Structure 1
């Protein structure tokens, strides 16, 4: 039975042999190597050019500045909530003193009633045999009753006021805690953005980084020196519209070269809004702390109508500000690693301007 079945089986296919086998093996190895090479390049991170590094660092610094202005605003709100909470606590302490005084007055009435045997005043007066004494004591009892009612009312009012103050203090405490959490979040964001920017800058050569920090292009020698000279631009021909604007500009010139530090308002370091605020404070003008509140602190002016001393704002989120000095130039605190300097207002996306004087 086995023989007929075997006779009908198809012959087995033989693998390549000789030259064909060697050719197939070569092609297979080449294909595997090619696949491996493609796989490797598919996962490799391409090296950034200096221009790409600059673009990414610029974006990180701009995002960090957005977070910095939010941090500044949250810090202002935190300070306000803390002051409000302090005032409420002081008022609650004064109310507590008044409450204690009112309670002491009630205690004296209670002691007097206890000593008199807690008899009804009318009954006590009716038992006296001296009419004059009766009338005198009746008048005294009436006055005592009025004073007692006043004292009770005083206690009730102080208790209600204390309850209101404590409820307000609780709300302020909640607000304070919320602002503290917000501060921590913004601070974490700023630090993360700055750390990422620093890692990217570490990929540049010393010359490229020096050029970037000075505001010039990261490729090509001499750019740093060119911008450094511009940052020390003379004040010849400066025409401020009034003495206060002139004083603000003079302060800004005096800050040239001082470092950018986020959250700083001087006198040794500044962030962008801190510099503008300090400059106008030296002229006797109080400005809000953040860019997005400073832009509403005066009268809006068109770019074509700019005058020295105007506040110039940049980016769609109003996250950067400088002090206009004329000739298309401003003094501003650019970013970490870049000190206060003179720069053209067209180096960033213009968002608006405000005149505060």
Structure 2
């Protein structure tokens, strides 16, 4: 103030500089906050991209495995006599009907019961390779979709679903449990009680009921 010819003018300038400094500080704070949010979005996008890549890799591996088995099955079918083919189709088709409700048993939880209701609701829908509903399904897409309707997230592939929950024995199976077949866990169905499962078997078929022992069981899991 002693060096200023006009103390009032000097104070006005100081006040103006203070306001400018405060505005700049506020802008800097908002910039840092925006950068923090951007970093969070970037990290989340990176995680989702990694998950998508893992799922894509699993699906490609699963597709190759299924294609190999389909090729083997076609070669075997070509070698079968018409009588053997008819017997094979009867055995693989099962009854196609819903099990008797009186022996269906109780689901292990409300979410499992909801998943059973969902999977029953799409019996008759067509098989669709790589499809997870709502109009067509492959085997693991069907079980994943059914549990999604119950608010439960499970892995996309049958191999992933084989470890999606607590393992139980086949004798302990309850409606809503996932029944995984073959040593390579290449097929999955949902147990619905009464010794029956609902599953989406193969290209050209429909979602249907079949006996739980239609193929060798490798695991039973309870999501």
**CA shift at 1:153, angstroms?**
2.6
Equivalents in 2 of 1:228, 1:273: separation in Å? 19
- The runs of 5 or more residues in structure 1 that have no matched partner are 1-121, 129-133, 212-217
TM-score (norm 1): 0.47
Structure 1 residues 198 and 250: CA distance shift in structure 2, 3 A: same
The CA distance in 2 between the partners of 1:268 and 1:352, in whole Å, is: 26
Report if aligned partners of 2:180, 2:220 keep a CA contact under 8 Å in 1. yes
Structure 1 segment 109-128 matched on structure 2, within 5 A: 126-128=4-6
For residue 68 of structure 1, what is the aligned residue in structure 2?
none
Residue 131 of structure 1 is matched in structure 2 by: none
Inter-CA distance 232–337: structure 2 relative to 1 (3 Å threshold): same
Using the TM superposition, give the Cα deviation of residue 230 of structure 1 relative to its aligned residue in structure 2, in angstroms. Answer: 1.8
CA RMSD of superposed structures (Å): 4.2
Return the match for 2:23 from 137, 142, 151. Answer: 151
The separation in 2 between residues aligned to 1:228 and 1:155, in whole angstroms, is 69
Asked if the contact 1:303/1:353 (under 8 Å) is kept, the reply is: no
Select which of 83, 95, 110 maps to 1:230: 95
Q: Deviations over 1:170-211 (max 9, x none)?
A: 6666666666665665555455445444544444557959x9
Find the aligned partners of 1:319 and 1:273 in 2 and give their Cα distance: 9
Cα distance 1:292–1:201, how it changes in 2: closer, same or farther (>3 A)? closer
Match of 1:349 in 2: 217
Residues 167 and 316 (structure 1), Cα distance of their counterparts in 2 relative to 1, 3 Å cut = farther
Mapping 1:306-321, distance limit 5 Å: 306-314=173-181, 320-321=187-188
Larger relative strand fraction: 2
TM-score with structure 2 length normalisation?
Answer: 0.68
Report if the CA contact (8 A) 2:95-2:209 is conserved.
Answer: yes
**Counterpart contact for 1:240–1:309, Cα < 8 Å:** no
Q: Which has the larger radius of gyration?
A: 1
User: Is this contact kept in 2: 1:261–1:336, CA < 8 A?
Assistant: yes
1:341: Cα distance to partner?
2.6
User: How far apart are residue 330 of structure 1 and its match?
Assistant: 1.7
How do residues 104-253 of structure 1 correspond to structure 2 at under 5 angstroms? 126-128=4-6, 134-135=7-8, 137=9, 139-161=11-33, 185-186=57-58, 188-203=60-75, 208=80, 219=84, 221-237=86-102, 238-241=104-107, 245-253=112-120
Superposition pairs for residues 95-106 of structure 1, below 5 Å? none
Structure number with greater CO (CA < 8 Å, separation at least 6) is: 2
1:127 Cα shift?
Answer: 0.8
SS in 2 for 1:240: coil
Distance 1:227 1:274 in 2: 20
CA shift, 1:281, in A, is 4.0
Aligned equivalents of 2:79, 2:216: Cα separation in 1: 24
Q: Which residue of 2 aligns with 1:288?
A: 154
The whole-number CA distance in structure 1 between the counterparts of 2:148 and 2:48 is: 27
SS at match of 2:120: helix
Q: What number of residue pairs does the alignment pair up?
A: 219
The CA distance in 2 between the partners of 1:308 and 1:184, in whole Å, is 30
Q: Secondary structure at the match of 1:126?
A: coil
**Kept in 1: contact 2:180–2:187 (CA 8 A):** yes
SS of aligned partner of 2:84: coil
> What is the CA-CA distance between 1:305 and the residue it aligns to?
2.6
Pair 316,144 (structure 1): closer, same or farther in 2 beyond 3 Å: farther
